[in-house]
Amino acid sequence: MTTYVMLINWTELGVKNIRESPARLDAARKLLGEMGGSFKEFYLTMGEYDMVVIGEASDDAVMARFALSLGMKGNVRTKTLKAFPEAAYRQIISSLG
């Protein structure tokens, strides 16, 4: 499984309906699960982003479909980063020669 860091901001619609946000989070967690992925961690954050999700998916296409599905609902905008674990980081660096 590949790890992804998803940076999330509420849209104007998402803030307007903020009280529904916990239910939307549950629905998002379920959706990613149905796609074969999972939420590893979720954080409400202060600063540039409103929320951060650490998730896993079998490949980039799954996470892309998930992010697009969230965006289509209009409550959030996402930025998704593919994350390399330390072992992969070390392998990449050592391959530089």
Q: What is the DSSP string of 32-94?
A: HHHTT-EEEEEEE--SS-SEEEEEEESSHHHHHHHHHHHHHHTSEEEEEEEE--HHHHHHHHH
pTM over 0.85: yes
- Chain segment 14-71, per-residue pLDDT in tens: 999 999 999 999 999 999 999 999 999 999 999 999 999 999 999 999 999 999 999 9
pLDDT at 97: 80
- Chain segment 1-29, per-residue pLDDT in tens: 999 999 999 999 999 999 999 999 999 99
